[in-house]
Structure 1
Amino acid sequence: MEERTFRVEKENSGKRVDTYLKEKIPEYSRSFIQYLISEGNLKINEKIIFEKDYHVKENDSITIKIVPPPYKEIKKEKIDVPIIYEDSSIVAVDKPPFMVVHPACGNYSGTLLQALSYKYPGIYLVHRLDKETSGLIIACKNKKAQVFLQKQFKERTVKKVYLAIVKGKMFNETGRIEAPLQRNPLDRKKFDVVPYKENSRMAITEYKVLDYIGNYTLLEVYPKTGRTHQIRVHLSHIGFPVAGDPIYGKREFFPRTMLHSYKLEFIHPETKEKISLSTDIPEDFKEFIEK
């Protein structure tokens, strides 16, 4: 392991930290630098920073640990995953719950990327879902399509619809949550709602009540931003945690966090026409709703 330390110069004040580090250590790719940051290898003024878009200031002390990634290349694995749509540019997958999207620490096998790479060499993923979240994920068959779709996600023009079962009876039929999120400084796996300040990231979630099941509510959820754990944190923040969520609620008798990526609407990278895709309601949702 190698460690590099820098002091931010006046002319570099205000730059994103990943951009600044790319200039300082050009032998490493920006994506690798972002990986190092996400794994907790960056300290600014002796404080661990996980945000790749943190803006540095003059005289900040920056230390980055250069740790090799856990894998050198994607190991392809023959795993069946439900394909719900495919053409010459994109593949739409109905990700099962408990399948990790990318190989990472503790999950080097059985991932969605490895499964798709077996059937589609050179496949690109443009977004991700949490391990326990099921549902729709889009992959691209070429770099041009990936760049085109990633731009839509970044600019928030992709319409995303989730299904969620939450604890409690939500009597407001519709709602909007605007609350900044920040990674918990003591537990990097968690995010918290915080007052808006530097390094917090504004997040917006809208929802609509579909049905009541005892003391639970079935929601359609529309995240307007794409923050990590956004839906889970926001719904817990207003007192209605996603059922089965072991981090922001309670597992209780649920098999997993009851959150499902249900619909996506975006501009197709080749035809430039609007395309809408959706999945079936998962079996564990049906079983709970119909019991």
Structure 2
Amino acid sequence: MTEQTTEFPKVQFVEIDEVHEGQRIDNFLITKLKGVPKSVIYRILRKGEVRVNKGRIKQTYKLLNGDVVRIPPVRVKSDQESNISSGLKSVQKLEQAIIYEDKYLIVLNKPSGIAVHGGSGLSFGVIEGLRALRPKEKMLELVHRLDRDTSGILLIAKKRSTLVALHEQLRSKSMNKIYWALVEGEWDKSVRSVQEPLLKINTKSGERIVVVDREQGKSSCTMFDVVEPLDGATLIEARPQTGRTHQIRVHTACKGHAIACDDKYGDKAFAARANSLGLKRLFLHAKEISFYHPVSETTVRFEAELEPALLNAIEAFRIKSD
């Protein structure tokens, strides 16, 4: 992939409309100046080069309808979004993964192996791919996140008001999410919840991992139910009550039931057995979501089908009767 130059050579004056009303200025600039590193954006904010209604503002300033934002000239090199084509096979895969779409949001059955955002050596993610597919949309923003290797339901807002309303449902825990996972061993049906506090740390090698830490960790809760006992494994349902990084993966692993093919928290022997039975990816799938649609004012529910690799793995682990 050849390196491209992203140029914003002239001062821009942008009048804020209802699409961006209520958005923080730093997030607005990240969206507006596609391909510009965040470090550059925060630098021009600190130096006062970005003005709102001719005045200096902090990075936490929330935009108002009618605000006029002055954006200074910016020139950076980028090898990401400028090269993304809606005709790419991987981008077309996202089009086929859309479960539902209206004027306000997109519900996607995200494939495993695709990050939600580009960066860190990735040419593009879900958001960059959808922007290539929907170039006329003024806004496409993640409502929540999924790990790169996790598949399933992902919500993308097309309006600022929709994003704010859905974020409020996440905060109030009125949005319900259900995941399916294949874990090692026999899950004890009496274990209905795990509430171990979680802490993000960086290892000496630079890898970011999450650990259980009862002193410094953030409170976390995941509810569990057994879907089906299997041969040396269990298919479980997980309902996270909090949204910590890698929460389900760590909560299952800390109970001695690592998720199949989890390269961070998993068991090598269990992963090897799963590989031998044809499973080559993390078995964690965001299967279902329900929430209050802020525009239709009805409770909606969406379900993401399991891809064949996961269905085949369940069948391969099923207890074979004589």
| TM-score normalized with structure 1 length | 0.72
- The answer as to 2:209 corresponding to 1:190 is yes
Give 1:118's aligned residue.
Answer: 132
Amino acid aligned to 1:286: L
Give 1:271's aligned residue.
Answer: 296
Written as runs of structure 1 = structure 2, the 5 A alignment for 1:167-246 is: 167-172=184-189, 174-186=191-203, 188-197=207-216, 200-246=217-263
Structure 2 contact 180–285 (Cα < 8 Å) conserved: yes
After TM superposition, give the deviation of residue 106 of structure 1 in Å.
Answer: 1.2
Partner SS, residue 190 of structure 1: strand
Give 1:258's aligned residue.
Answer: 283
Q: Which runs of 5+ in 2 are unaligned?
A: 1-24, 31-37, 40-74, 317-322
Partner SS, residue 153 of structure 2: strand
- The answer as to 2:26 corresponding to 1:29 is yes
Structure 2 contact 80–123 (Cα < 8 Å) conserved: no
1:10-40: CA deviation from partner (whole Å, max 9, x where unpaired)? xxxxxxxxxxxxxxxxxx83787xx67xxxx
Structure 2 contact 152–304 (Cα < 8 Å) conserved: yes
After TM superposition, give the deviation of residue 171 of structure 1 in Å.
Answer: 2.9
After TM superposition, give the deviation of residue 282 of structure 1 in Å.
Answer: 2.2
After TM superposition, give the deviation of residue 74 of structure 1 in Å.
Answer: 4.6
Greater CA drift, 182-191 or 81-90: 182-191
Amino acid aligned to 1:204: C
Give 2:114's aligned residue.
Answer: 99
Amino acid aligned to 1:29: D
Amino acid aligned to 1:113: I
Partner SS, residue 287 of structure 1: helix
Counterpart Cα distance in 1 of 2:166 and 2:122: 26
Amino acid aligned to 1:154: R
Counterpart Cα distance in 2 of 1:192 and 1:69: 37
What is the count of residue pairs matched by the alignment? 228
Amino acid aligned to 1:237: C
List, as ranges, runs of 4+ consecutive aligned residues in structure 1 with deviation greater than 6 Å. Answer: none
Structure 1 contact 196–202 (Cα < 8 Å) conserved: no
1:98-132: CA deviation from partner (whole Å, max 9, x where unpaired)? 001111211132x1112211222321211110011
Partner SS, residue 174 of structure 2: coil
Amino acid aligned to 1:91: I
Structure 2 contact 152–286 (Cα < 8 Å) conserved: yes
Partner SS, residue 208 of structure 2: coil
Amino acid aligned to 2:116: V
Structure 1 contact 77–117 (Cα < 8 Å) conserved: no
Amino acid aligned to 1:269: P
1:264-285: CA deviation from partner (whole Å, max 9, x where unpaired)? 1111121222111111122111
1:144-180: CA deviation from partner (whole Å, max 9, x where unpaired)? 1111112212332210100000011113255100011
Counterpart Cα distance in 2 of 1:84 and 1:178: 32
Counterpart Cα distance in 2 of 1:203 and 1:263: 20
Give 2:154's aligned residue.
Answer: 137
Written as runs of structure 1 = structure 2, the 5 A alignment for 1:57-96 is: 74-75=81-82, 76-78=84-86, 79-80=91-92, 81=94, 82-96=97-111
Change (3 A) 1:130 1:71: farther
Counterpart Cα distance in 2 of 1:142 and 1:150: 12
Greater CA drift, 141-150 or 74-83: 74-83
Counterpart Cα distance in 2 of 1:86 and 1:152: 19
Written as runs of structure 1 = structure 2, the 5 A alignment for 1:150-161 is: 150-161=167-178
Counterpart Cα distance in 2 of 1:177 and 1:70: 45
Counterpart Cα distance in 1 of 2:126 and 2:222: 26
Amino acid aligned to 2:213: V
Amino acid aligned to 2:118: P
Partner SS, residue 99 of structure 1: coil
State the identity as a percent. Answer: 27
Aligned CA RMSD, in angstroms, stands at: 2.3
Partner SS, residue 29 of structure 1: helix
Partner SS, residue 222 of structure 2: strand
